[in-house]
Every structure is written in C-alpha cells, then in structure tokens.
Structure 1
C-alpha cells in the first residue's frame, strides 16, 4: 500500500514539477504549493482507499489537483459535479487537455440525467398530436425534429434552435415513468441507452450529483443502474451534496405522473377495452376529483404539507381523492391479464396511491413534508431530517471517496459537512486561496443602512449604494439577491437611475444572460440563487458584487422547521447549529463570484448591518477571504475607479 502511494505521488509530483508535463505545455505555468498539497493528499486517498474532504479556495487549482492523480492511477474513476457547466468544462476542456499532456488514452464518457436526452418515442407522439398543440410549441417541436435528424447523441444541451425555456422541451425529454424499455420501437437507437452503454465501457465517467444519487439510491434509471462500480469517486462542488442527498433519500411524487397515468388509462380503454365502459366512467370521475384537488392546492399556495392537512377542506378532499383512486384500482384489478398496458398502469396506480397515502398521514417526525409548485404541476416531497446514516452506507469502503469545494468550512471547521454525510473519519484539509485578496479586494458594509426587514427602506438604500458603485465600476456589476421580490423591486427603480444595461433574471435563461453580460462588457446583472454559484467572470468583466442581505434560510421552510424542531428536542440551538452554518456557506458562494483569477480586482458590498453589529456576524467574517474592510462608500468609489 505504501509503495503504491509513493509511486502515484512521485508520478503526480513529476507532472507538477518545473520540468514536468504541465510546465512544458502550459504557457506561464508555475507550481502552486497549495495545489501540490491537495494533489498529494488525493494520491494518498486513492492509493490507500480512504475518504478525503478538501476545501480548496479559489485559485488553488483543485480540478487539476484531483484529475492528475486520478488519471495517473489508471483506476475506474467517476467525477461528479454540481452543475452542467462544470460537467461540460471537465469533459470538453480539462480532461482532453490533461490526457494529451500526460499521454494517456483511457475511454472517457459524459453522462447526464435521462431528462437531458431526446426521447424519439415522445417526439413522434407529440408530432402525431400536433392538432392540439399551441402554435409556438408546435413550431419548436418542428425545430427539434429537424435537429433530431442531425444529432449524434441526442443531448438537448446541444440544441440551439429552441430556447432553453421552451414549453416543448419537457414534452420530448426522456422520462423513466413513460419509458417502455425494450418494448420501445426506438430502443436500438435510444439516446439514453447509448449514453449508458458508452459509460459502462469507459474508464473515466463525468456525471452530476443528481444523476449519481438517482443511480445509486433510487436505482430508477430505467436501464438498470447507469453507472459501473468504481475505484474512485470524486465530488466537485461537494457543498451541494447534503441537500441533494436529502432529496434522494426521501420520497417525491409529481402530480404530473397522476395526470398522465389517468389519461393513459382512458386511452387503454378506448383502444383495447371498449367493452368495459365502467373503466372510462370511474377514470373520468377520478380526473374530475384530481383536477379539483389540484386547483385547491394551487389556490392555497402553501409549501408545508403538514399545515395544509390542518385545513379541513384540503384534508377532506385529499382523503376523498384516495378513496376514488382505490375504487378505480379495484375495478382495474378485475381486468388484469387482458392488456399488458393496463397491467403496467395498475402497478403504477398502486404505487402512486401508496405514496400519496404516506403524504396524507404525515406520521414521520424525522421528516419534512412539503410541496414544490411548478408552472402547471406540483411535487409532493418527504425529506428526511438527517441522512448521515444512509450516506454512510452509500459510501462503500472499497472505494476512495474524495469531496472538494471552495466552500465547506464554518469558522475553519469542516465537521458540519462530514457529520451531515456520515464521513467523520475522513481526512480533512482546508487550503486557502493563493490570491492576494488583501490588496486586490475590498469588503464594504455601508453605514446608515435600514433594517433588511424594512422592505421599502431596504430597496431605497440598496439602489442608492448600487448606483454609486455601478457608475464607478462603469457597469461590470453583479447584484445578488435572496428573494425575487427584492430583485424585481430594485430592478424597477434602478432602471431609471443608471445608464448601463440591466440584465434581470427571468428576462432570459441563465446562460443567455451570462453570455450577454460577457458580450456587452459594461452590464449590470441582477439575479437570485442560480447566480450565486457556478459563474466564472474573469478580468475586467466583473469588478463589483453587491449582495442584498445575509442568505439565511426562511424560517417558514418546512425542511428547516422540521430540522429545527429536532435540534430543539436535543436541547441545542437551531440557529447556531443549522441556520447560521448554512448561511455562511451560501454567502461564501456569492462572494466567490468576485475574484476568479490572480489578477482580478474588485469590491464586495454587503447591504446588511447584521454582519457587523450582531455577535454571529464574526462567523461570517471569519469564513470570508482576507479582504480589506471599509464602511465608507467613497473608498469603494475610489477603489473601483482605479481598476483598469
């Protein structure tokens, strides 16, 4: 074991050395001590099959620090990311570069969740039903059909002729619940199946966290498990894992599934079982009950299911709906064996009824019950409060598990992250950014700010601060918000105060807005959660980041309340144990948008006095990079005007 560690470490350090592969092919390359420290730790974790947790600040070069040892090890590798952007950067840029430099030729594969691939069967069905489609949707479907004749992999990410927000995309994206597997006429050319086959044959596979957990926990890919067993699993953007794990170790049920199943049963009756009119009668009755219940939920617009079940009208209609579904199930059971499609539908209906019944009971004190509202449908979720035990069982000791991110620690401590994932025994490292934050960045908490809870006053103050900063920076500003309400209010007022282009989340998709921000060179982008992480703007493109307030989770969030109640029952403080740590990590993600390169300079403005006048503010400050600090906006203006 020791000899293997030494051998891999030597090969890795040779690659990073002054006359190694990187130095000979990368212009201006110079070894970074923190990067080599991380690479050495990764070598040890791989060779000795133990777990490693590394917070690697911006500029450490963590991607090469884990990829080079992993590739040189020659083992079966899975790299999982939190975002499609990083996933594609790894596959299309970083991996090809390193494989070329290291003269290695392993098979590599990029694998996304199945809803990222075109389903030829669904596209065919939608085009056959074109008479009932909206004109815009039909137009987009025709564009997709044209693209389908040209694409080699069916990856919808490569579809540029249709907006990423098009209503046509959900209609033709691959979904497990409507997949007929080997029975499908398109099985041999199925893009999801081909992607899976390619992954099974690869030595290095790049996935995202959602796909990894769906594959390993739910095992609901539709083609058995997509991912092979591996020697090494590396999670980049690992700070996202605890929340993602909660989703997959819980349960969820989409009302879209119910709606589609009921319509499917109607079609089965009309095409195969016309001699059993009661099927149509009872199914139509279920559809009416279901639509009324669905509409009720949208009218209440309450995300906490426990609270909803406290409403007598909702509780009564929910149990009535269950009774209607059970009556339909009993009727259909009498027709089993007459139709393969009906047999499959009865099995689905039984599963949906069982799940819905669990939601209505709300009898698990160690779980939160909530509703996510979509455009037309909603999703019922049961989320466990703690998943450490489940994660501990998931992380097989025969595999080396490596977790890394720029934001994992609270007050220089990684134990909150490792405890959440049940990996307390992992080796832990905190590697600070090598960038010169003290001279290149300035943190400002302006004086005389109103309380963030005073909405109108907070809008007025933020607009005043933003106007000064934007003019001094000549645009080139991100304003990050914790709520859409605040973002829209500020956007409305700010549009008449500054002459620079304003790009507001919702005007277009995320990538479209970021592309326009880069092209304009003097724009101001206003966004919420989606823009707090995974955005890389280097150089003069971005000189100022403004954050409206400390990103504490809403106390009305059902999962937070369930966790807080559990913590209180244990005699601990939910704020210190849960709310504060989550907010610190979220703030660090937003702050991380500012300095992305060693030559970058910029100002971070936080419009929330609590960071300086509340005792808990020190926890935020301790976790931020070592920037100079001021409360004087004149210093901000002076700093920004000097950035060339």
Structure 2
C-alpha cells in the first residue's frame, strides 16, 4: 500500500481525523473502496468510472484522495447548486480538518458574473424603462460596490429569469474582451486569475465543454494546468457536451443582437447609420422564421433530415430563412462602416458575422454524420449536433504523457487541444523538462449515483468514449428492504389511456389525505404535471390542510425550500408536483418526504430527433434500438427519480410507479432490477396500510 493510500484509509477510518472532527461522520466500506480506487487512479493515471449509490459518500471519497495527493485538480459538476456546495462547504471543511495549505477557487460561466460595462449601459436600455427596473438597477449598482466576486448568486431578489439579468451580465457573444473599458476590473477575469493561482478549481460541465468548443480573441487568462479532473454528476456529461459541440442559432440570439445594435448605435453613432432600419429588418426576419415553424403547444422538436424541418411549409420557411441571411448581411455592412469608432461595434460586427455563418449553415443540407432539428416554443432554436461526445472526449482523455492546459471558456478549440496533447510548450507542457511541466499521465474520475443499469455501465461509457476506463459500482449502505417499499397499482388504466393522469391524481389525493402531505409527484410530461397539479389544487379536501406546490408556479429554489420545511409550527405538509429537473438533484432527507409517485415509465419521447437518430445508429450496428437504447435510458431516468425517496439511514417511504407495464411486461423485471432492492407491496390495501403506519410513527 502506497503512502497516499495509507493516508486516505487513515483519514476515512473510525479513528481518523474526519471521525474526530466532523459530527455524524461514520466510516463506510463502500466509501473507502471508492476512495482507494480513486487514489490508485491518481497515482497511475487513466480513467475511473464509479457509480456510487445514494449514501455512499462519494464526495468525500474523491475529495479526500485529491486533496491529500497535493495534485492540481479541476472538480466539475452538472449543477451550480452542487458547485456552490463543494466550494462553500465540503472542500473548506476537509481543508480545515486535514490541515492542508490548499487554495481553492470557484469558476462559473461568464453569464453568472456582473458585467460592469453592461451595467453602466443598462440605464439607457428600453428594458430599464419598465416599472420597477430603475429601482432594481439601483440595487444592483449598490451591490456592485461591495461585492468582491461579482457572482450574481450573491444578489438576492433577482431571478435568472429576470429581463434585467442579461442587461448586467455578458455572454461570449457580447463580451468585448480586452477592448472593454472595464477590463481590468472585470469580475470574470479576476475569477480566472484566482483560478490560475489555485490548487483546486471547482467548475461545471457547461464551462468545461464551452472551453473545448469555442475560441474568443482578447481573453488571455487560462484555467490552471492540472493533472487531475473529477466529474461529479457525470451522468449528464453526454447531453451537456452534445449541446456545446454542435451548432446553434436561436431567435433569442438574433433579437439580442438587434437590441444591442440599436442601443449602441444610437448611443455612439447616431445618424451615421439607419440603425432602426437595420434592426427592424433583423427583428422581422427573425419573427417571420419563428412563424414559419408553425404553431405548437408547449415545446416541440421537429425532425430535420432534408432541406427543411418536418411539417414546415417550404413556401414560408425558405424565403424566411433567405431573408434572415440577407438581414444579417446588411447588419454586417452597416456595422463595418463604424467598427473603428468603438470596441462595441467591432464585437457587434463579429456577432453579426458569426450568426450569419450559422444562418447560412442551416440554409444547407444537414450533416449526415450528426443530427439536426428545430426546437419550437415561444422562441425558435436551430440545432445541429453530433450524436454523442465519444469522438471528442476520447481524444481528450486518452492516455498521454503531457498535462492538459484547459483554455479560457471562450478561448479553446480542437487544434489547440491537439497541440497541447502533443506536448507543445506554447500550451504549458515542456517535453524537455518533465519536472518543470509536471508531465505524467492524467487522471480522470467520473462518478454519479446513476451511470447505467448493468455492471459494465455501458450506457455511460460508450457515448463518452470511455471504453478503456476502469469501472466499478459501489452499492448504497441503506437498508432499502427495511426502509422502502415499491408499489405498482395494477388497477390503474394503461399509460396511453386519456384518463391516466386523472387516475394518478385520484391515487395521490387518497394517499395525501392519509399522510398529510410529504409527497413528491414526478411526471414525464408537462401536460401531466399541469393536469395532476390542477386536480390536486381543486379537488383535495381543504380539511387535509395540505399545501400543493406545482413546478412553474414559483421559482424552483422557493419550491424546494418550502417542501423541505414540511409540516410544523402551524404549517401544513406539502405535495410537490414536478417534472424535468426535479427528477434528480432534489435532496429531501427526513419525514418531509415519504411518498414518491411517478406517473409513467420515463421512456424517451419517440418523436425526439436526437433519440431517433441514436436509435437508428444502434439499429445499423445490428443491435436492438429498444433493448440497447430506449430501455437503458428509461432505467437510468427511473433510477434517478426513485433516488429522491431515501436520502439517509433513518428515512422511510414508498415509491409508487403508476405504470402497469412495470408489472406486466417482460422488460419490467429489468427495470425493477435497476432499482434499489425495496420490498414489494402486494396491493392497494397494503399500500394504504403502510401510509397509515407512517402517520402513526410520525405522531408517536
């Protein structure tokens, strides 16, 4: 056993520093096993993929070895919530307990930081004239004088959905880089400089892939050279990566360009160009293209395998797209005449050119090696992407003898990555001086509670190009057979029945009246979420004194906070009806949550273009699109949803899956095997009896 392995094992033992300093810490065999595997990967290099069940303590299992190793590291998460938790709580606690002289930095995408230049301009914008806007801007300006980081998460009372948010933050599109008059004081650059001087940098997957995908001139700061990269919540890597490695054009981008051109033109070059004419044409062509995509309820993805999206009239779409290309060309011509006047015009010209290139791309036939679709909601988004990240990611993570310098989020491209991996000293790796450049095989750690439904974890490793990775599964320490039960109500109609959502809502009402809340309802569609939420809000007996929360009716953070509060102090317990993002990352330990109801098995929507393209590829490879693609996708999603129920050793609860296919179809056994080993409830009477027992236990 190496010295590092000894130190890690000692730290996680019953007599180690964590047991002595952290209240409630208990050694867990699974945590130690995972930590040993991480340690060996740190020492030898290579790729390690770990599925660590709920309660294993995977965060400490990778942080302890990484911190004790003394190696420079990136830790990447899928959500800003976990990113903030790692930076503000987990890492500082370990650094203190272990007594390590380690500098830690937090780095988010640029749109999370206050842009001082855009804040200066915001009062002159049309949005600033809206009721309450001036007061909100004044609050932002006051905060700007006190904040050290400029992280917008510090600013209470301003939601990311606010129309003011994009006015006071920057994006890759509108950042002026080193030409900005506030460049020296830029919070993004200061955060990157701090990251350069740190030993551990906490980032997120979006930032990691943005770093791979784009280059932007005028930004000199880089993320530090690291030998260790850890991806927590790694199950989201492929989907996040696909979005960044493809091409996108949206009406939001186009309208934001129009707004910025008009504001800047009138402020800095009034009368030199007919700014109203240019921006009016761009806005009209953008809206015409959205209208050409048709009217749809909610958000839909339209297949796009030929010249235009499926179901779209060519007589409307083709001229609308042509007019958009021309509007962007005219915008470039107008901006080109004033680019010398101010850096703002140079950046606006570059934005118009980039969007024009994308509009031209979508005027041509789709790339046969990828997939293209049009996403239609209130806005329109055109997307062309690879089917997965395997090719790009396998090239990035293959064994090499040079460390990778990850570029600034907006200043990296595949050529620079390849040069770096070849040991190009311009990128920080000096093959002539291994000691100085820290040469050695890189270590890549990937972990999540859910990475597949089979021991090989192929669902995760294949699309990520990690076919040579070491794979391990660490089971949860929770006693699911004792703590949790699974109920499949076979009396309900089939999932395709129009009345299915209503029957699910009736079952929830019956259960909630016994439990007094403490229920999370997860739906596979927004329509079902709205239907069930409305039913509960109008039909549940007021005497039950239960508060019904529905996703979308309040900010997500407030919904989570209220649900976790539960009953007490005169407050009712809660029912939360939600979809999408609440299937994962929502952690409610204790009696505030004892019933999770899932309306249907979460199979991917059959009409989704990306799912269909991946299914077709699986079929071409001689495999089953259902068994080898659709079923594993559903198994992982079901496992994520079920994972909301038991979050600690003292939790208890029931998982209800309102889909008879889980009990009647042969593939139901595979889906159940992928779930924690809960005891099965045999019928509705036993289900209600179990809920009554929870109520009795809670009041005793």
Q: Identify the TM-score tier after normalising by the shorter chain.
A: over 0.9
Q: Where does 1:220-619 land on structure 2 (aligned, <5 Å)? A: 223-224=219-220, 226-266=222-262, 281=277, 284-297=280-293, 299=295, 303-304=301-302, 306=304, 308=309, 310-312=312-314, 313-326=316-329, 329=332, 341-373=344-376, 377-395=379-397, 397=399, 398-455=441-498, 457-495=499-537, 496-498=539-541, 499=544, 500-521=546-567, 522-619=573-670
Instruction: Tell me, in whole angstroms, the C-alpha distance in 2 between the residues paired with 1:276 and 1:317.
Output: 28
Q: Where does 1:91-102 land on structure 2 (aligned, <5 Å)? A: 91-102=87-98
Secondary structure of the equivalent of 2:158? coil
Instruction: Tell me, in whole angstroms, the C-alpha distance in 2 between the residues paired with 1:236 and 1:324.
Output: 43
Instruction: Tell me, in whole angstroms, the C-alpha distance in 2 between the residues paired with 1:336 and 1:99.
Output: 50
Secondary structure of the equivalent of 1:385? coil
TM-score normalised according to structure 2 size: 0.86
Secondary structure of the equivalent of 2:611? helix
Instruction: Tell me, in whole angstroms, the C-alpha distance in 1 between the residues paired with 2:233 and 2:127.
Output: 45
Secondary structure of the equivalent of 2:329? helix
CA offset at residue 259 of structure 1? 2.7
Q: String of CA shifts for 1:493-547, please: whole Å, max 9, x gaps.
A: 1122243110111111111111111224311111101111111111111111111
CA offset at residue 181 of structure 1? 2.0
Instruction: Tell me, in whole angstroms, the C-alpha distance in 2 between the residues paired with 1:14 and 1:85.
Output: 30
Which has more helix, going by share of residues? 1
Q: Number of matched residues? A: 638
CA offset at residue 486 of structure 1? 0.6
Q: String of CA shifts for 1:48-70, please: whole Å, max 9, x gaps.
A: 01110000001111111110000
Secondary structure of the equivalent of 2:462? helix
Q: RMSD in angstroms over aligned alpha carbons? A: 2.5
Alignment partner, residue 630 of structure 1: 681
Stretch moving more, 268-277 or 302-311? 268-277
CA offset at residue 285 of structure 1? 3.7
Instruction: Tell me, in whole angstroms, the C-alpha distance in 2 between the residues paired with 1:336 and 1:519.
Output: 55
* 1:179 maps onto 2:175 in alignment: yes
Alignment partner, residue 431 of structure 2: none
Alignment partner, residue 22 of structure 2: 26
CA offset at residue 408 of structure 1? 0.7
Contact 1:444 1:604 in 2 (8 A): yes
CA offset at residue 594 of structure 1? 0.4
Stretches of structure 2 lacking an aligned partner (at least 5 in a row): 400-440, 568-572
Stretch moving more, 425-434 or 14-23? 14-23
Contact 2:590 2:651 in 1 (8 A): yes
CA offset at residue 550 of structure 1? 0.7
Contact 2:453 2:632 in 1 (8 A): yes
Distance 1:570-1:27 versus aligned 2 partners, 3 A rule: closer
Secondary structure of the equivalent of 1:430? strand
CA offset at residue 220 of structure 1? 5.0
Secondary structure of the equivalent of 1:604? strand
CA offset at residue 374 of structure 1? 6.2
Instruction: Tell me, in whole angstroms, the C-alpha distance in 2 between the residues paired with 1:198 and 1:372.
Output: 38
Instruction: Tell me, in whole angstroms, the C-alpha distance in 1 between the residues paired with 2:259 and 2:92.
Output: 47
Instruction: Tell me, in whole angstroms, the C-alpha distance in 2 between the residues paired with 1:596 and 1:476.
Output: 14
Instruction: Tell me, in whole angstroms, the C-alpha distance in 2 between the residues paired with 1:158 and 1:280.
Output: 37
CA offset at residue 329 of structure 1? 4.1
Distance 1:340-1:542 versus aligned 2 partners, 3 A rule: closer
Instruction: Tell me, in whole angstroms, the C-alpha distance in 2 between the residues paired with 1:323 and 1:33.
Output: 64
CA offset at residue 174 of structure 1? 2.4
Alignment partner, residue 42 of structure 2: 46
Distance 1:167-1:325 versus aligned 2 partners, 3 A rule: closer
Stretch moving more, 65-74 or 9-18? 9-18
CA offset at residue 132 of structure 1? 5.7
Instruction: Tell me, in whole angstroms, the C-alpha distance in 1 between the residues paired with 2:274 and 2:510.
Output: 70
Distance 1:288-1:614 versus aligned 2 partners, 3 A rule: same
Stretch moving more, 315-324 or 242-251? 315-324
TM-score normalised according to structure 1 size: 0.93
CA offset at residue 319 of structure 1? 2.2
Stretch moving more, 513-522 or 616-625? 513-522
CA offset at residue 41 of structure 1? 0.2
Alignment partner, residue 105 of structure 2: 109
Distance 1:624-1:331 versus aligned 2 partners, 3 A rule: same
Secondary structure of the equivalent of 2:309? helix
Contact 1:196 1:226 in 2 (8 A): yes
Instruction: Tell me, in whole angstroms, the C-alpha distance in 2 between the residues paired with 1:129 and 1:564.
Output: 47
Secondary structure of the equivalent of 1:555? coil
Stretches of structure 1 lacking an aligned partner (at least 5 in a row): none
Secondary structure of the equivalent of 2:644? coil
Stretch moving more, 324-333 or 516-525? 324-333
Instruction: Tell me, in whole angstroms, the C-alpha distance in 1 between the residues paired with 2:128 and 2:532.
Output: 40
Instruction: Tell me, in whole angstroms, the C-alpha distance in 1 between the residues paired with 2:516 and 2:9.
Output: 43
Contact 1:269 1:280 in 2 (8 A): no
Instruction: Tell me, in whole angstroms, the C-alpha distance in 2 between the residues paired with 1:131 and 1:238.
Output: 38
